[in-house]
Structure 1
Amino acid sequence: MTVTVPDRLPPAERVSRWANDHRKWLFSSPAIIFTVLLIAFPIGWTIYLSFTDSFGSVRAPFDFVGFDNYVTALTDTARFWPAVLRTVIFTVAALAFELAAGMSIALLLWRPFKAQAIVRVIVLLPFVATPVAIAMMWRLIFDPNIGFANQVLGWIGIPPQAWFSSPATTLPTLIFVDVWEFTPMIAIVLLAGLTSLSDEPDEAARIDGANAWQRFWFVTLPLLRPVVLVAIMLRAIDALKTFDLLYAVKGQGGGSFHEAETLNIYAYTLSFQYNSFGLASAVLILFFLMVLISMWLLTLRRKEKP
């Protein structure tokens, strides 16, 4: 027996049926609208400003100048390319140390032991505080006159260091602070991956006579590789866009000699110190493209792995 549906339904019934047929779009539309308003629109406006000579105020009249801002940025060997180099050095160095330290901590916390919960809480403490608070704390510790770091060096006969005051030591010290703060993040991600691994491959390698290093390098690490790549991707994105730590320590321009001026600091200085919004927008778009390309390469690397 077939059931016939009347051609003319009450308006409320038609609306109800339409909503049921399109429910996936109705439920997801608030998130889509929110994403468009808070992400797509600012990016689109920044792209638009990057093709103009906007200066002084975003409300001031400006003209369309094409790719002039991009040419100016890409040919700037005094500020732009040194900022690119510092951004790469900061990201790669911080990520390398954090990955090595995070893996070591994760391996130490992997197997159960007494007071394991307390140790995990202690390891997570640096990650709890905000980057600005961390920066102010380490500024006091590394203060060349009253800082505790130079006092410790004096106890062992090493002369005081400039730390954040010298162009030669500023970036390495900032990398150290970033490693101290964000290593727990890598450790927690890797620890979650380690706890999800099966014990059977490790036990089989142990029975075959493999030592601890061989079991880690040839068994544990290959199994953990997808988690490692995810941790690298997440932390690389975060390290590339580091701003609060650098600004809290060195301020606009990244210091008197721009020794801590990454692309984020450079774009901020162009916007809020020089009021060159067109050029700053071009720098931000170039930086955005660099991040996208880096993430694309990491994604390809992840897909190549079994």
Structure 2
Amino acid sequence: MTTTSLNRSSGTERVSRWVNDHRKWIFAAPAMIFTAILIGFPIGWTIYLSVTDAKGSVRAPADFIGIENYIDVLTDVDRFWPAVMRTGVFTFGALAVELVAGMAIALLLWRPFKAQKWVRVAILLPFVATPVAIAMMWRLIFDPNIGFANRVLSWVGVPPQPWFSEPATTLPTLMFVDIWEFTPMIAIILLAGLTSLSDEPDEAARIDGANAWQRFWYVTLPLLRPVVLVAVLLRSIDALKTFDLLYVVKGQGGGSFHEAETLNIYVYGLSFKYNDFGTASAVLIIFFLMILVVMWLLTFRRKGAKL
């Protein structure tokens, strides 16, 4: 065998060994590259638009204006900051109630009882329906003239309520609809976590004389903390993106007085009503950074904290 053949064989073996040692990355690389492009390109394009005066069309010529759009957005106390406040109130107000109600439902379904499977299916029904259909249904229920909600109130002598018609009641009513729809999601996640827990710590606490509340607070809840964190992360991200419910009920601008205008509704109006893509992109980047900060606070800052 010649020296050239030996070198070629040795080189082939080295390549084969390298491929074998790194096969998990080689096989995953196409999907990782595709995902990076799929995520990176929209973010990069949005960042580019946010530092230009793009208006009318994203294909129209646009001039570089630096951080001017960001300054305009951050100094907008009439629309941007109220939208930030409504987004926070809607997201974390609904999330807090959903977490408490979801935990209560999960605890009720934790222990076996008759017709448990049917009860689980019934609880899941609000979650499987599309948000647009649910928004239309509750819009009819809360209609001030023909709505079933005011009719029920009239039966008990309570005067009709404005629900979606008044700025003071619009956001709380929308939060109620969101709670009704997404509490089952929290309940199912927490129920899955509860069923995976061992019975031994609870039995030990019972033998030591702990009552039901003490066993839940000092035993069950600490063991369930990682699952609770996952539920909070998933639901908070989803709630921050809420658009369809708000748009179907209140339309563009979030109502006549912008009473339901969150950041998503605000960006939609900037983009598709005023065609101000530069400002809209700046709002999206700021919103994206806010979400990253919230996620960081929920994950890294709570690692050593007690619930």
Q: With the length of structure 1 as denominator, give the TM-score of the two structures.
A: 0.94
Cα distance in 2 for partners of 1:265, 1:244 equals 9
Cα distance in 1 for partners of 2:290, 2:90 equals 15
- Secondary structure of the residue aligned to 2:153 is helix
Quote the offset at 1:10 in angstroms: 11
| 2:187 equivalent in structure 1 | 187
| 1:140 equivalent in structure 2 | 140
Cα displacement string for residues 168-204 of structure 1 (whole angstroms, at most 9, x for unaligned residues): 1110000000000000010011101111111111111
Cα distance in 2 for partners of 1:68, 1:58 equals 18
| 2:211 equivalent in structure 1 | 211
- Secondary structure of the residue aligned to 2:8 is coil
- Secondary structure of the residue aligned to 1:66 is coil
Quote the offset at 1:6 in angstroms: 2.5
| 1:158 equivalent in structure 2 | 158
Cα distance in 2 for partners of 1:207, 1:15 equals 62
Aligned length: 302
Are 1:241 and 2:241 matched, yes or no?
A: yes
| 1:124 equivalent in structure 2 | 124
| 2:111 equivalent in structure 1 | 111
Asked if structure 2 preserves the Cα contact closer than 8 Å seen for 1:50 and 1:279, the reply is yes
Asked if structure 2 preserves the Cα contact closer than 8 Å seen for 1:226 and 1:302, the reply is no
Give matches, 1:2-13, under 5 Å: 6-9=6-9
Are 1:50 and 2:50 matched, yes or no?
A: yes
Q: With the length of structure 2 as denominator, give the TM-score of the two structures.
A: 0.94
Give matches, 1:57-136, under 5 Å: 57-136=57-136
Identical aligned pairs, as a percentage? 78
Cα distance in 2 for partners of 1:139, 1:6 equals 78
Cα distance in 2 for partners of 1:262, 1:167 equals 14
| 2:271 equivalent in structure 1 | 271
Runs of 4+ in 1 over 4 A off after TM superposition: 9-19
Q: Which amino acid aligns with 1:7?
A: N
Are 1:250 and 2:242 matched, yes or no?
A: no
Quote the offset at 1:22 in angstroms: 4.3
Cα distance in 1 for partners of 2:246, 2:30 equals 36
Q: Which amino acid aligns with 2:145?
A: N
Cα distance in 1 for partners of 2:214, 2:10 equals 72
Q: Which runs of 5+ in 2 are unaligned?
A: none
| 2:288 equivalent in structure 1 | 288
Q: Which runs of 5+ in 1 are unaligned?
A: none
Quote the offset at 1:13 in angstroms: 8.4
